Amino acid sequence: MRSTDARARTLIASSMLSVLLFSGVAMAQAAEARSEDSPFIMMCCLGPLLLISLGFAVFGILWAVFYPIMFLYAVIFSERNLNRMMSDLVLRERASIDHFGKDPLSTLKGDHIVGGIKETGLVYANVVYSPSHWQLLIAWINQLFGGRIDVLHRVISAGRAEAKQRLREQAQAAGWDDVLNVRIDTAEMTPASKPKGTRAVEVFAYGTGIKFG
Amino acid sequence: MSSALIMQHIRDGIMVVNTETIAGKVITQNLGVVGGSTVRAKHVGKDIFAGLKNIVGGELKAYTELLEESRTEAIARMVADAAARGANAIVNVRFATSSVAGGASELFAYGTAVTVE
């Protein structure tokens, strides 16, 4: 179902592209047949390119207008948003600990369980979290002096706590009593070859949910 | 989505865990390493929006969703692989991530297909 969908989309995109190209070439040839040095040929060949560059120009102007506004917003609100999210997390953590009676996550393998296990299954949760550009600027200034970079530490630990809390909530939703062998992976979204891309980290937490027998 | 996936596992009769053994059961046969991977990307509009959200910081929901979907698909492929080998459980499941290009990411899930009793 999904693969046929993707195939149809690819087919439509490629056919549109080829129609565009062929019509451009055909019109250029027709124009060439009529006269040698008409500006019409240039228009036909450069038309699509001009359209694309117009699109880029519009996007660039919009970006130049929006970036300072968003940056100002980040300067004013990013710290407050982080604090609010952390205090929210504390409440959610307390709620799920109340539900389970203890913190359900552990890195143990399950050998310590005496009563026996009725059912097992995989449980996982992820979150993509990013510092704001204002926080990145502060971090860059801190890097000049070296030492502890508190801003980034707080952002990343907030993301990790969020992923753990989502794992607890997933376990609660699936009806597990406990989550064993929890692993937490951190992957960066920005590849090293493209350092100007989105600066974000992905935190992925997974474990084995169990039901006591 | 995740709970739907768990239902799928129960329907296939394949248990997926990331511990080395399944408590209360004995592994009778090792059927080798099975894996499933997928490469996915969001459309350009969501990429641009995520870029804007990145200035402000916080969670990038579009990318969270993207990785969640891809991981679900990778696990479903791994389970299909194990079912084709006649396994009834996958133990010691691990995940690996790599970013192929800017907006696209490859998710890989692998584990050992076994039969348990």
Whether residue A122 and residue B75 make contact (CB cut-off 8 A), yes or no, is yes
Q: What residues of chain A score a pLDDT lower than 50?
A: 1
pLDDT for position A95: 94
pLDDT for position B78: 92
pLDDT for position A179: 92
Residue A72 lies in a domain: no
pLDDT for position B4: 52
- How far apart (Å, rounded) are the C-alpha atoms in residues B12 and A173? 21
Cβ under 8 Å to B: A residues 179-208 = 180-181, 183, 185, 187-191, 194, 197-200, 202, 204, 206-208
Whether residue B54 and residue A73 make contact (CB cut-off 8 A), yes or no, is no
pLDDT for position A14: 82
**Total domain count for chain A?**
1
Bridge-based pairing of strands A201-212 and A178-188 is antiparallel
Look-up: residue for tokens 């692993």?
A183
Residue A121 lies in a domain: yes
Q: How many CB atoms lie within 10 A of CB B50?
A: 22
pLDDT for position B62: 86
**Nearest CA of chain B to the CA of A109: how many Å?**
6
Q: How many CA atoms lie within 13 A of A82 on its CB side?
A: 22
- How far apart (Å, rounded) are the C-alpha atoms in residues B73 and A123? 15
Residue A197 lies in a domain: yes
Closest CA to A102 of A94, A110, A92, A91: A94
For chain A, how are helix, strand and coil distributed in percent, rounded to 5?
A: 60, 20, 20
Which two three-digit tokens encode residue B96? 């690996």
- Cβ atoms of residues A199 and A136 within 8 Å: yes
- How far apart (Å, rounded) are the C-alpha atoms in residues B108 and B71? 8
Bridge-based pairing of strands B58-59 and A201-212 is unpaired
Residue A84 lies in a domain: no
Closest CA to A150 of A162, A139, A160, A161: A139
**Nearest CA of chain A to the CA of B22: how many Å?**
8
Assign domain B2-116 to its CATH architecture.
Answer: 2-Layer Sandwich (3.30)
pLDDT for position B19: 87
The residue in chain A having the minimum alpha-carbon distance to the alpha carbon of residue B101 is A191
> In this structure, what DSSP letter does residue A37 have?
S
- Could you write out the three-class secondary structure of B10-38? HHHCCEECCCCCCCCCCEEEEEEEEEEEE
Which two three-digit tokens encode residue B74? 């990778």
Residue A135 lies in a domain: yes
Residue A150's domain comprises 103-212
Q: Is the pTM of this model over 0.90?
A: no
- How far apart (Å, rounded) are the C-alpha atoms in residues B57 and A134? 9
Residue A194 lies in a domain: yes
Which two three-digit tokens encode residue A172? 């609660």
Domain residue extents for chain B = 2-116
Closest CA to B71 of B45, B35, B20: B35
Residue A165 lies in a domain: yes
> In this structure, what DSSP letter does residue A108 have?
-
The residue in chain A having the minimum alpha-carbon distance to the alpha carbon of residue B60 is A128
Closest CA to B71 of A178, A187, A196: A187
pLDDT tens track, chain B, 117 positions: 444 555 455 556 788 888 888 877 889 999 999 999 988 877 777 777 888 888 888 898 888 888 888 888 899 999 999 999 999 899 999 998 877 765 567 889 999 999 998
> In this structure, what DSSP letter does residue A197 have?
S
- CATH number for the domain spanning A160: value is 3.30.110.70
Amino acid (one-letter) located at A106: S
Bridge-based pairing of strands B89-98 and B15-16 is parallel
- How far apart (Å, rounded) are the C-alpha atoms in residues B83 and B77? 10
Q: How many CB atoms lie within 10 A of CB A199?
A: 16
Whether residue A121 and residue B19 make contact (CB cut-off 8 A), yes or no, is no
Closest CA to A171 of B63, B6, B66: B6
ipTM comes to: 0.82
